[in-house]
Amino acid sequence: MNENLKIALALIAFLALVAGLEAMAGYAFFHALEAEDQQRVLAILTSRAELLLELGVLRMAILGIAFGVAYQLYVKGPLTVAEGIRIMLKAHSGHRIEPAGPPEVRQLARAVNDLAEHSEGLARGLEAEIARATASLEEEKNRLAALMSELSQGVLVCNIEGRILLYNERARQVFGASANPRNGGSCALVGLGRSIFALVDRSLLTHALEGVQARLEKDQPDPNVQFVIGTRTGQLVRVQLAPVLTAGLPHAGQGAAIGGFVMTLENITRAFDLDTTRDMLLHSFTEGSRAALASIRAAVETLIHYPDCERAQHDCFIQIIDEETRKLSARLDRLTVDHADSLKTRWPLEEMLGLDVIATARRRIENRLGVPTHVEAADDSLWLRVDSYTLVQALASLAGRLRDGCGVGELCFHLARHGRIAELDLAWPGPALPQQALYDWEMAPMSAGGEDSPLTLRDVLERHGAEIVYMAGQNSQWSRFRFLLPMAKPVRHSHGISIRHGESRPEFYDFDLFHQAGQTPELDGLRLADLAFTVFDTETTGLDPAAGDEIIAIGAVRIVNNRLLRNETYEQLVDPRRPIASMSQTVHGISHDMLRGQPVIDEVLPQFYEYCADTVLVGHNAAFDLRFLQMKEARTGLRFTQPVLDTLLLSEVLHPNQESHALEAVAGRLGVTVVARHTALGDALVTGEIFLRMIPLLAAHGIHTLRDAREAAEKIHVKVEY
């Protein structure tokens, strides 16, 4: 019931009670008088009726004011203090009560604040002790996170129900995760608490787990299984699955049960394509050569067995041999070229220190060619993006040609920075080379120390987006080949992770989920602490979707296992294809230029829908945002039918005596720092923090399950003034 309505009803009841008591007292007094006195009283009352009515109204007004003051002091004041105490105990220990009510209650509020200060001091000391005690555990966690981020393979750890407990960024890349809908990515299908069955066919994974269980029952030393899957983006991934056994059973033969599993992922698409291409080339060459070899053999055998055949027949057989050998030679040349093309992309371009490239090239040249080398000068801070295998082959091939063709017996390396280009020099003392020699060496297949390659130096340069320059020495001084190579930034394995709010390392693991109950369609009966939530917010061109206003930004963050997953957020600008109201632009600061080239809502909503799958939606004034989503149901065919909780309504449930339930006001009460206000992701993060702090407050009010929260919010029918 509305608080003002409750006060009005209480005031009416109070005034009615006072009026009733006065009427009863007057009636008793009147009947106690003599008849003559009763007549005089009635005459006085009749002559002074108007004055008496005014005095009665004035008296009732004074009583009403007195009642209101008493209510504020002795009812609302203590209730406000009680709400402050609950916030202090359940959500925000740093909250302090604003003294309200009569002097005695104000003194009590000050005493509670003093007690809170003392308790907070004790808590800080306890936290310091806990921090020191858990320092070693945190160090181990950081080592785990560092190890996971450096692994070249994707890793997923799941519980037996298929919920993801741990993953690394490589796993996201393997499954083609992308935050940009235009990339065809899946937003964040790999995420804590998400189902692995959205990525891997359930029957295939179940079959693999059955195979693991069978091997465990037979006490086989290696229970792991391996299989290949296809991703949504058409990639082939080799999966190796290993079981996580339940604790307390040291030996598989004693009936160990599977509590979860670890999947290592390797993208084999490139290797598969290369193997297929090689097999096709080999098959084409063998099948195409079979007939030619048969013709040659028949012609040769005929010439051997019939040496005295006529001249015309003899010449005919010789012509057959000549034509078929030419065809074989041409087919072999095509095979070599095709094989060289496949080799160009066999080794990926990787970021590598220039000094490491030089060290590798020096070892190969000295070991295979026997030519001594040294480094004249090298910038040890230069990083290159190179295919180290083919680049070192190119350097070794040039060294071999210099040794064999020019008698060079000594080589020198030099590495320097020139703007955004790295200059890698291979220098030697001696006479200048003719320009034609460099051209011939560029176009000829590389060879060094008995290792031949179908690639040319020009192929390697094109692969790297590089160039080579020949610089002739003067007066028999040093001559050099200078490779002009693009530089790379010395940042390794970042993979586009954005770390927010000062976090030192992304949290990609949550082993508590091993004990998380499986999610079922019967969400209403589950405790709030056991559910997964998507907290979201939108920014729009205006406030009226029915009049054509559109979404221009969506931001969201997931809550899993009572943790806000700041590194699994969703954020996307949207081109509304309509003007932005000036008042709205003043609020959120999003301009038309910022939206130019962004995807439209029809492209964004399927990605956001997938991000929200299997979760409960949470928003502040969520009805506003949902209305914009519902307006697109007919066009996109997507319906957001998940349960929804509104922190605005829950705030009214928890704190009905507070003046404001705006996002900033609620955040201030619960000790949540407001950052990036009026950005979709910023507001979603703040709302997520608020909701997490509301959960224990709701429990203190007897609201434990999703059904409890929904029913409590449905009873709130107030209009909140912002």
**Among residues 435, 434, 395, which one has the least CA distance to residue 415?**
395
Q: What is the mean pLDDT of residues 305-315?
A: 76
Q: Which domains does the chain have, with CATH numbers?
A: 3-131 (no CATH), 150-267 (3.30.450.20), 274-344 (1.10.287), 350-488 (3.30.565.10), 517-714 (3.30.420.10)
Helix (H, G, I), strand (E, B) or coil at 295: helix
Question: Is 137 within 8 Å of 146 (Cβ atoms)?
Answer: no
Residue with tokens 């950052």: 675
Residue 182 has pLDDT above 60, yes or no: no
- 654-665 in b/e form (b: 16+ CB < 10 A) is bbbbbeebbbeb
Higher pLDDT, 665 or 11: 665
Label the pairing between strands 616-619 and 644-646. Answer: parallel
Summary mean pLDDT of the chain: 78
How far, in whole angstroms, is CA 655 from its chain's centroid? 34
H or E element at residue 106: helix 103-133
Q: Are 630 and 210 in contact (CB under 8 A)?
A: no
Helical H runs in 33-102? 35-47, 49-71, 77-90
Residue 483 reports pLDDT greater than 70: yes
Whole-angstrom Cα distance, residue 165 to residue 150? 18
**Alpha-carbon dihedral 317, 320, 322, 328, rounded to 10 degrees:** -140
Confidence of residue 104 (pLDDT cuts 50, 70, 90): low
15-29, 139-153, 494-508, 704-718: range with highest mean pLDDT: 704-718
For residues 276-305, average pLDDT: 66
- More confident: 282 or 417: 417
Cβ neighbours, 10 Å, residue 137: 9
pLDDT at position 366 is 92
> If you search the block for the tokens 């996971």, which residue do you land on?
148
Higher pLDDT, 4 or 53: 53
Q: In angstroms, rounded to a whole number, what is the distance separating the alpha carbons of residues 325 and 21?
A: 127
pLDDT-based confidence at residue 395 (cuts at 50, 70, 90):
very high
CA atoms within 13 A on the CB side of 133: 6
Q: What pLDDT, on the 0 to 100 scale, is given for residue 133?
A: 73
- The answer, yes or no, to whether residue 689 has pLDDT greater than 80, is yes
pLDDT at 691 exceeding the cut of 90: yes
252-261, 289-298, 490-499, 545-554 — which one is most confidently predicted on average?
545-554
* Percentages of the chain per state (helix, strand, coil), in multiples of 5: 50, 20, 30
Residue 620 annotated in active site: no
Token duo for residue 79: 């209730």
The reported pLDDT for the residue numbered 599 is 92
d(CA 145, CA 141): 6
Query: Of 396, 389, 390, which Cα lies nearest the Cα of 460?
Result: 390
| pTM given for the model | 0.54
Task: Look at 79-83, 405-409, 499-503 and tell me which has the smallest mean pLDDT.
Answer: 499-503
pLDDT at 256: 63
Judge whether residue 502 has pLDDT over 50: no
- Distances in Å between the Cα of 424 and the Cα atoms of 185, 412, 470 are 38, 11, 12
Q: Which two tokens stand for residue 17?
A: 């009670």
CA angle, 658 then 659 then 665, to 5°: 85
Q: Which of 678, 701, 704, 717 is catalytic?
A: 678
Encoding tokens for residue 286? 């063998």
Q: Which residues have C-beta within 8 Å of that of residue 396, sequence separation ≥ 6?
A: 361, 364, 365, 368, 369, 448, 449, 451
Please tell me the least confidently modeled range out of 7-11, 380-384, 410-414, 692-696.
7-11
pLDDT at 519 over 60: no
* Dist CA 70 CA 55 (whole Å): 22
- Residue 224: C-alpha distances to residues 155, 481, 507 (Å): 15, 52, 27
**pLDDT number for residue 4:** 60
Cβ neighbours of 43 (radius 10 Å): 10
d(Cα 683, Cα 672) in Å, to the nearest integer? 12
Q: Mean pLDDT throughout 447-465?
A: 82
pLDDT at residue 17 greater than cutoff 50:
yes
Taking alpha carbons only, the member of 473, 487, 480, 459 closest to residue 394 is 459
pLDDT at 632 over 50: yes
Lowest mean pLDDT across 15-24, 412-421, 679-688: 15-24
Q: What number is the average pLDDT over the span 5-26?
A: 71
Nearest to 428 by CA among 507, 373, 390: 373
pLDDT, position 414? 94
Region 696-718: what's the mean pLDDT? 84
Residue of higher predicted confidence among 433 and 180: 433
Q: Give the Å distances, CA to CA, from 652 to 53, 661, 720.
A: 41, 7, 9
User: What pLDDT is attached to residue 190?
Assistant: 84
pLDDT band at 410 (very low <50, low <70, confident <90, very high): very high
pLDDT > 90 fraction of the chain, expressed in percent and rounded: 17
Contact in structure between 454 and 445 (CB atoms under 8 Å): yes
pLDDT band at 505 (very low <50, low <70, confident <90, very high): very low
pLDDT digits (tens, 9 = 90+) for 124-169: 777 777 777 777 777 777 777 677 766 778 899 999 888 898 888 8
CA atoms within a 13 Å half-sphere pointing along the CA-CB vector of 183: 12
Phi, psi of 620 (to 5 degrees): -105, 120
Where is average pLDDT lowest: 208-212, 261-265, 449-453, 661-665? 449-453
How sure is the predictor about 424, in pLDDT bands with cuts at 50, 70 and 90? very high
The pair of structure tokens assigned to 609 is: 């829908």
Q: 114-118, 242-246, 342-346: lowest mean pLDDT where?
A: 342-346
pLDDT score of 719: 41
Q: Where are the beta strands (DSSP E) in 599-681?
A: 616-619, 644-646
Q: Which of 152-161, 290-299, 323-332 has the highest mean pLDDT?
A: 152-161
Write down the pLDDT at residue 398. Answer: 92
pLDDT at residue 492, as a whole number: 39
pLDDT at 500 over 50: no
Say if residue 501's pLDDT is above 80.
Answer: no
Q: 332: pLDDT confidence band, cut at 50, 70 and 90?
A: low
Strands 616-619 and 533-540: parallel
What are the E-state strand segments in 70-163? 154-159
Report the distance separating Cα 403 and Cα 172, nearest Å.
48
Residue 193 CB contacts under 8 Å (≥ 6 apart), including other chains:
163, 164, 510, 513, 516, 532, 558, 560, 561
The predicted pLDDT at position 127 comes to 75
Q: What is the pLDDT of residue 494?
A: 35
